[in-house]
Structure 1
Amino acid sequence: MENCFSVGVALENFIIRSWGSIVGHANYVCKLKQTLPTLTEALQDLRAQRDDVQGMVDVAEQRLLKRLERVQLWLSKAETMVTEAEKLVANGPQQMNNLCLGGFASKNCLSTYKFGKKVAKMLQAINDLMSKGVFDKVAESQPAASVVVRPEERPIALQPTIEKVWNCIVDKDVGIIGLYGLGGVGKTTLLTQINNKFSTTPNGFDVVIWALVSNGYDIGKIQNKIGGNIGFSAESWKNKSVEEKAVDIYGVLRIKRFVVLLDDLWERVDLNQVGIPKPSQDNGSKLIFTTRCLEVCGEMEAREKIKVECLEPKEAWKLFQDKVGDETLNSHPDIRKLAKQVVERCGGLPLALITIGRAMACKTTPGDWKYAIEMLKRCTLPKMENEVFPLLKFSYDNLPNVTMKCCLLYCCLYPEDYCIPKKRLVEYWFCEGMLNEFDRISEAQMQGDYIINSLLNACLLERDGEDFVKMHDVIRDMVLWIVCELEAKENKFFVKAGAQLFEEPDVKIWECAKRMSVMKNNIEVIRETPKCPNLHSLFLSENKLKVINDGFFQFIPHLTVLNLSNNSALQVLPKGISQLISLECLDLSHTAIRELPIELKSLTKLKMLDLSCIPYLRRIPRHLISSFFRLQIFRITSLTSEDYPEEDNVLNGGNENLIEELKSLQHLNILSMLPFTSMFALERFLSFNLFRCCTQELRLSGFKESNVFNVLCLENVECLRTLNLQNCENVEEIKMEKLHTWVSPGTSYTSPFHNLTSVSFQDCHKLTDVTWLILVPNLRYLGLVQCVKIEEILSQGKFGEVADVRIPYPIPFLKLEKLVLCSLWKLKSVYWDVLPFPCLKYIFVGICPELKKLPLNSDSAKGNRITIDGNEDWWAEIEWENEATRQTFSPFFRSYS
C-alpha cells in the first residue's frame, strides 16, 4: 500500500509539474517556503504604513482638518488587506506541514497549489497598495460652518480663554460649555469672538446659531432667531405656536452637527421647549452660553464651567491706554501716573476700563484727572453711574430675596480689597436679625453659608481662600451707589472705611444713618455725642482709638452691632455703653481693655461677646457673664487675674468661677475658651456636655503634669476648629491612645477631628513629631514655632503605629493652605514623600537649618501659585526632586534676609 501511495503521489506531482510548466505556475508550491515568510514581513510593513497614515490623519483631525477621500479609501483597503493576509499567515503552518520531497511536492498538492497562488497574489497586492500609500498630505481644510459674522470689539487678553473654550469645542466628551463671570467682564465679547472663529477656522459643524436670551427671556423670540438661521424665516412660521416651532427646529437640528451660542442667561433654558437637541458625544453638537451666575451653569448641565476673569493689571493698563490714546496720556507729565490710579480703581473690569477710558480721552489737564479720581472714590462719576453701575445692578436685582440683597449691601461696610472673615460676617448678620429663619447661630450659620455661596456664584463676591471673601472694587462702588442713591431713605449707609480719617466725621452727616463704618482709619478720640435714632451697625474697628466720650452712646437706642476690634490702644470702655440696651453684638477682640465695667449688665439682649486676644484683661465682675442669658457666641483668651481681690473677679479661682457662670448660659452655641494650664482643668471643662458641643477653639498652655498628651481626649469636642498648644515644655509625645476603630472595606470613616482646620504649636521644646495630624483631614493652617527638638512633622514610623487602628487615612494635607515653620533647629522632614498640596498657597520657613528637602515635585499644587518665604542661604541649599521642580517653585520664593 505504501508503494501504491508513493506511486500515486509521484504521478500526481508529475502531472501538476507538467501542467505548471505549461501555464507558468509550478513555483506556487516549490517556493512556498520563501513566499510565506516574505508575506509575513510584507504584512508587518503594511500594518506599520497603515498606522503611520492613520496617525497623520488623527493629528490633522485634531486641528479640525478633513481627511482626503483617497486617503480614507486607501485606509479601508489596507484594513481589508491586513485582515486577509493575517488569515493566510495563520494557515501557513498547516500548508507547510503538507510539503515533502524538500518542498518540491505536497501531500495535498491541489490545496497547497491554491494556497501558494493566494500567497503570491497577496504579496503582489500588498506591494501595489503600499506603493500607493505615500501621500503628500492626508487632510485639507474643511468648509467653514454656516455662521453669521458679528461685529466685535477686541479687548486685550481674551486669547487664553478663547483657546480654553476652543479646546472644549474640539473635545468630543464636552457638549455643553458655560462661561460665567462678573457683569462687564467681557463674556459677550468672548462669545462673539468664538462665533466669528467658526467662520475662519476649519471645523466639522454645519451651522452656528447665535441667540440673545437676557433676563425674563421669551422662548418664541429665541426660536425665531434660531429659525432664521436654519431656513424658517417666513411670517407664517413665526406665527406658529411654541410647541410647533420646537418640533420644526428639532427636525432640522437633529440631522445636523450644530453649535448654539446663547448669550446672557439668567436662568435655565429648557432645550426641549426650544427644540434644541441636547448636545452629546453621539451627535457631536455644542451648546455654549454666558451667564453671570455659576448656578445657571449647573442648571444647564454644563460639562465645562469656565470663569471669565477680570484683567491682570498689565493687561488692564494696555486696554485703558488704547481707549484713552497716547496723545492724551502724553499731554502732561503727571497724567500717565494719574491714569494708572484710575486703572487701579477699575479693578481690571473691561467695561469700567473702556467706559472711563473713552470718557477721559480728551482730558488733558491733571486737574481733570484728579477730579475724576475723586469722583470715582465717591462713586459719583457720571459715566460710571449711567453706563457701568446700571449694568452691574442687574445682578443685584436678580438676587432671589430681600435677605440676600441686604446681606450683600452689608459687605460694603468693609474697606476696599478687605478680606472679610466669612464666619464673622455671618455672626454679624445673625445679630442684626437678617438670618431670621433660625434662632440659633449654629443653624443660622447654614443659612449664612448658603447666602455667601449664592453671592459667590452670582459673582458679586469673590472667594479668598476657604475662610474669607472679598468684594471687587467696582462691585463695592456699585453697592455704595445703591445704598447712597437708590435706597437711602430706608437703608441709609455712611461708609468712610479706609478713608485715612484722623478724626470722627461731622456728626450731622451721619446722624440719620442706619449703618455706619469708619473702620481702618487713624481716629484716636471720639468726642461727639450724636443723636442717631436709626443706627443699627457701627464699625469702629482698626483705628487708633484711645478714648471714647462717655456720652457717645447715650442717644443710639437701637444699636445692634458694635465693632471696636483691633484698637490696640483702647484700654477703657465708657460707662455710657450701658445705654445700648438693644445691643446684640459687642466685639472687643484685639484691644487693650483691662476690665469690663459692671454697667455692661444692662445689655441683656447680648448674643455675641468677643473678648479674644485681649492680653491685658484682668477683671470681669462676678455675675456679669451669667447676666447675658441670651448669649450664644462667647470668645475669651489671654487672661490674667492679677491685682484684683478674688471676690470681685470672676477670673480668680483658676478660672473655675467663669466656667461656672458659663454653665448657666443655656443658649451658648459657639465657645472659644481661655488657656487651660492642666489636664485636670481641661477634663473638668470637657465633662460638661454643653462645652463639648459648642467649643470651637481651645488653647492649652503650660501643661506640666505629664510628658504624654492623649489627643483623643478631644475627640468628642464636636465643633473644635482651632487648637493651640503653647509652652507645653514637658510634652514629648502626642498619642492617640484608646482609638479602637475598625472600618470594614467600602465603609466611609469620619475622623473625630474632621472639623479641625487650624493647629499650632509654640514653645513645646521636647516635642519630636506631630504625626497625629493624619487624623485631621481638613487642616488648612499648620504652624510650628520654637519646637526645638522636633525632627519630623509626620513620622513614617509613627504613621505605621496609627495605621494599626485599621482606618483608611487619605493623603495628608490635601486641604492645607498655609504652613509656618519657625525656629525648628532639628527639623529634617515634613513628610517622607512628595505630596500634591492642591490648596497650598503659602509656606514660611525661618531658622530651620536641617530642613534640606520639601515634599514637593513639579506636580505639587498644580495650578496654584505657592509663595515661599525664607532665608536666601537656606533656599540655596534645598535639594530638589529634579530640575523641573526647582524651576516650578523658584519664581515664587521671597527672601526675608
Structure 2
Amino acid sequence: MKAQKSIEVTCLSSEAVWTLFQKEVGEETLKSHPHIPRLAKIVAEECKGLPLALITLRRAMAGEKDPSNWDKVLQDLSKFPAEISDGECGKKKNKTLLYNDVSRLKEAQEIPNLKVAEKMSFWDENVEKFPKTLELISSLISLKLFSTINTNVLSRVEESLLDELESLNGISEICITICTTRSFNKLNGSHKLQRCISQFELDKCGDMISLELLPSFLKRMKHLRWLCISDCDELKDIKIEGEGERTQRDATLRNYIAARGNYFLHEVYIDNCSKLLNLTWLVCAPYLEELTIEDCESIEQVICYGVEEKLDIFSRLKYLKLNNLPRLKSIYHHPLPFSSLEIIKVYDCKSLRSLPFDSNTSNNNLKKIKGETSWWNQLEWNDETIKHSFTPYFQIHEAEAYLTDSEESETDGIDDMQQDSASN
C-alpha cells in the first residue's frame, strides 16, 4: 500500500451503503431483534459512504444479535470522527493515514517518506508489525494527530511509542491506549504528552492496583475529552492525592476540590474492573456528559459517602448507563438536580434500590429511564409524588420487551388455535 501517494477517495451513495451493509451483515442478524434494523441503518450511515469504514464495520457486526452491542458500536463511532469521516469524497488526500489492517502495511522503511502526513490512526487487533513502524514515528515531522485507540499495542513497545511521540515538535492531539503501570508512570512524567492527550484508554493493565493522580496532572490534561478504563482486573481504587501527600491512603475532600479545574472531560467508560470499589474521583469532572459503568462486580457506590453535598456533581451529565453491577447500592447519597440529564439505563443492578431524585431533580430534559420492570418496581422513594413524576419516563429494557412481545404472540397463537378447535 503506497500510503504516501495521493489517492482518489470514491464514496458510495447512502442507498448503496445500506444495500451492501444489509447483504454483509445478513438477514438472520437483522431479523434477530426488532431494534437491530434501525440501529444497523444508523451504523451504516456513520460510514459516510467511505468503503474502508463500511468494510470494517460490516465485518465487525456480522452475526451480532444483541442490540446493546449495536448501541455500544454507535457510541464508539462517535469517539472517532476524525478517523472515519475526515476524507471528502472525490478529492485527493495524502495527509490522513488510517490503517484498519496493519498487516497490509508494507515495509516500515516507507514511513519516513510520509513527511506530509498530519494524522495517523491505527484501528485494528492485528499489530504484529507495530514495533518496526513505531520506531520511525519520530520521522513524521508534520504529524499533528496520532491514535491507537481500539488497538492492542504490544506492551513491550508502549514506552518506546511514548518516547517517539514526545520527540515530535508539532504533535498537538494524541489518542492512546496504555496497558502497563510502567507506561502510565512514563506518561505521568511527561508534561508535553499530558497536554496533548484528548482520548485516553487504560486497558488490560493487570499490574495496576491503585491509580493515584495529582491535581497538577489533571490540570495539565485539560484537553482530555474521553476516558476509558477497561479489563483492569486488579485495580481497586482511583485516588486524587494532594501535592506532597502521596503517602496518604485516602483521598480527602480538600484534594478533590483542588483537582476541580477547567479541563473538559466529557465521556467516561468503566468496564470489567472487577475489584474497583467506587468512582468518587468523578467529582473532579464538572463537565462530564456521558458516564457508562459496566461489569464491575465489586462497586457499591459511584460517589462515596463523605463527599459534601455542596459540590456541584453531574450537573452537565446527559447520559448515564449502569450495567451488571450486582453490588451497587448508591449513585450518590444526596439528591441531585441532574439539570441536563436525558437518558438513564440501568440493567442487572439488583442492589440499587433508590435513585438520587427529589422534588428539585429536573425532568425538563429527561427523555427516558430504561431498565427491567422488576428493578423499577422495587425502587424506594421518599415521596410518592416524586415517583409519579418520573414514572412516565420509564421504559422496559429492549430484551425484556422482545421477550414480552414473543410471549404475547405465542399466547395469541395458542388462543387462536383453541378457538379454531372449539369452532370445529
TM range (shorter): 0.5 to 0.7
Query: Equivalent residue for 2:419?
Result: none
Shift of 1:845: 0.8
Q: Map residues 509-528 of structure 1 onto 2, 5 A cutoff.
A: 520=44
* 1:615 and 2:117 are equivalent in the alignment: no
For the 8 Å contact 2:266–2:290, the answer to whether it is kept is yes
Query: Equivalent residue for 1:875?
Result: 376
With over 3 angstroms needed to count, the CA separation of the structure-2 counterparts of 1:786 and 1:753, relative to structure 1, is: farther
* 1:887 and 2:385 are equivalent in the alignment: no
Q: Map residues 576-655 of structure 1 onto 2, 5 A cutoff.
A: 583-588=94-99, 591=100, 593-594=102-103, 596-598=105-107, 599=110, 601-612=112-123, 614-620=124-130, 621-622=132-133, 623-640=135-152, 651=154, 653-655=156-158
Query: Equivalent residue for 2:284?
Result: 775
Task: Give the letter for the 1:781 counterpart.
Answer: E
Query: Equivalent residue for 1:163?
Result: none
Aligned match for 2:15, one of 479, 486, 499 = 499
Query: Equivalent residue for 1:736?
Result: 240
Q: 2: distance between equivalents of 1:583 and 1:759?
A: 33
Q: 2: distance between equivalents of 1:587 and 1:792?
A: 40
Query: Equivalent residue for 1:709?
Result: 211
Q: Secondary structure at the match of 2:194?
A: helix
Shift of 1:848: 0.4
Q: Map residues 203-352 of structure 1 onto 2, 5 A cutoff.
A: none
Q: 2: distance between equivalents of 1:624 and 1:758?
A: 32
Shift of 1:813: 0.2
For the 8 Å contact 2:10–2:50, the answer to whether it is kept is no
Query: Equivalent residue for 2:226?
Result: 722
Aligned match for 2:267, one of 750, 753, 758 = 758
- In the alignment, structure 2 segments of 5+ residues that lack a partner are 1-8, 21-42, 59-80, 86-90, 246-256, 401-424
Shift of 1:875: 1.3
Task: Give the letter for the 1:683 counterpart.
Answer: N
Residues 31-68 of structure 1 deviation map (CA, whole Å, 9 limit, x = unaligned): xxxxxxxxxxxxxxxxxxxxxxxxxxxxxxxxxxxxxx
Query: Equivalent residue for 2:340?
Result: 839
Query: Equivalent residue for 1:856?
Result: 357
Q: 1: distance between equivalents of 2:10 and 2:150?
A: 34
With over 3 angstroms needed to count, the CA separation of the structure-2 counterparts of 1:776 and 1:594, relative to structure 1, is: same
Aligned match for 1:694, one of 196, 211, 222 = 196
For the 8 Å contact 1:702–1:727, the answer to whether it is kept is yes
The Cα RMSD (Å) is 3.7
Task: Give the letter for the 1:565 counterpart.
Answer: I
Query: Equivalent residue for 1:806?
Result: none
Q: 2: distance between equivalents of 1:726 and 1:852?
A: 26
Shift of 1:546: 9.9
Residues 491-545 of structure 1 deviation map (CA, whole Å, 9 limit, x = unaligned): xx99764223457xxxxxxxxxxxxxxx94799xxxxxxxxxxxxx984464236
Q: 2: distance between equivalents of 1:736 and 1:758?
A: 19
Shift of 1:671: 0.5
Q: 2: distance between equivalents of 1:739 and 1:585?
A: 40
Query: Equivalent residue for 1:284?
Result: none
More relative contact order, 1 or 2 (CA 8 Å, 6+ apart)? 2
With over 3 angstroms needed to count, the CA separation of the structure-2 counterparts of 1:878 and 1:694, relative to structure 1, is: same
For the 8 Å contact 1:625–1:661, the answer to whether it is kept is yes
Q: 2: distance between equivalents of 1:796 and 1:563?
A: 40
Q: Map residues 95-494 of structure 1 onto 2, 5 A cutoff.
A: none
Q: 1: distance between equivalents of 2:82 and 2:288?
A: 29
Query: Equivalent residue for 1:812?
Result: 313
Q: Secondary structure at the match of 2:15?
A: coil
Q: Secondary structure at the match of 2:321?
A: strand
Q: 2: distance between equivalents of 1:764 and 1:687?
A: 25
Shift of 1:636: 0.8
Query: Equivalent residue for 2:3?
Result: none
Q: 2: distance between equivalents of 1:722 and 1:564?
A: 15
Residues 232-289 of structure 1 deviation map (CA, whole Å, 9 limit, x = unaligned): xxxxxxxxxxxxxxxxxxxxxxxxxxxxxxxxxxxxxxxxxxxxxxxxxxxxxxxxxx
Residues 729-752 of structure 1 deviation map (CA, whole Å, 9 limit, x = unaligned): 2222222222579xxxxxx97724
Q: 2: distance between equivalents of 1:542 and 1:653?
A: 29
For the 8 Å contact 2:12–2:51, the answer to whether it is kept is no
* 1:664 and 2:167 are equivalent in the alignment: yes
Q: Secondary structure at the match of 1:565?
A: helix
Query: Equivalent residue for 1:396?
Result: none
Shift of 1:626: 2.6
For the 8 Å contact 1:539–1:563, the answer to whether it is kept is no
Residues 459-490 of structure 1 deviation map (CA, whole Å, 9 limit, x = unaligned): xxxxxxxxxxxxxxxxxxxxxxxxxxxxxxxx
Shift of 1:677: 1.7
Shift of 1:594: 4.0
Task: Give the letter for the 1:727 counterpart.
Answer: D
Shift of 1:727: 2.3
Residues 287-318 of structure 1 deviation map (CA, whole Å, 9 limit, x = unaligned): xxxxxxxxxxxxxxxxxxxxxxxxxxxxxxxx
Query: Equivalent residue for 1:683?
Result: 185
Query: Equivalent residue for 2:300?
Result: 791
Shift of 1:891: 2.2
For the 8 Å contact 2:178–2:205, the answer to whether it is kept is no
With over 3 angstroms needed to count, the CA separation of the structure-2 counterparts of 1:857 and 1:866, relative to structure 1, is: farther
With over 3 angstroms needed to count, the CA separation of the structure-2 counterparts of 1:625 and 1:494, relative to structure 1, is: closer
Q: 2: distance between equivalents of 1:696 and 1:546?
A: 24
Q: 1: distance between equivalents of 2:225 and 2:140?
A: 25
Return the index of the structure with the highest Cα Rg: 1
TM-score (norm. length: structure 1) = 0.33
Q: 2: distance between equivalents of 1:726 and 1:771?
A: 17
Q: 2: distance between equivalents of 1:652 and 1:736?
A: 26
Q: Secondary structure at the match of 1:778?
A: coil
For the 8 Å contact 2:173–2:198, the answer to whether it is kept is yes
With over 3 angstroms needed to count, the CA separation of the structure-2 counterparts of 1:730 and 1:544, relative to structure 1, is: closer
**Count of paired positions:** 324
With over 3 angstroms needed to count, the CA separation of the structure-2 counterparts of 1:853 and 1:563, relative to structure 1, is: closer
With over 3 angstroms needed to count, the CA separation of the structure-2 counterparts of 1:497 and 1:894, relative to structure 1, is: farther
For the 8 Å contact 1:763–1:787, the answer to whether it is kept is yes
Query: Equivalent residue for 1:543?
Result: 54
Q: Secondary structure at the match of 1:773?
A: helix
* 1:565 and 2:84 are equivalent in the alignment: yes
Task: Give the letter for the 1:660 counterpart.
Answer: D
Shift of 1:777: 0.8
Q: Secondary structure at the match of 2:177?
A: coil
With over 3 angstroms needed to count, the CA separation of the structure-2 counterparts of 1:660 and 1:600, relative to structure 1, is: same
Q: 1: distance between equivalents of 2:157 and 2:169?
A: 22
Shift of 1:624: 4.2
Shift of 1:855: 0.9
Q: 1: distance between equivalents of 2:292 and 2:264?
A: 17
Q: 2: distance between equivalents of 1:633 and 1:830?
A: 36
With over 3 angstroms needed to count, the CA separation of the structure-2 counterparts of 1:522 and 1:640, relative to structure 1, is: closer
Task: Give the letter for the 2:169 counterpart.
Answer: Q
TM-score (norm. length: structure 2) = 0.66
Task: Give the letter for the 1:585 counterpart.
Answer: T
Shift of 1:718: 3.1
Q: 1: distance between equivalents of 2:103 and 2:362?
A: 45
Q: Secondary structure at the match of 1:869?
A: strand
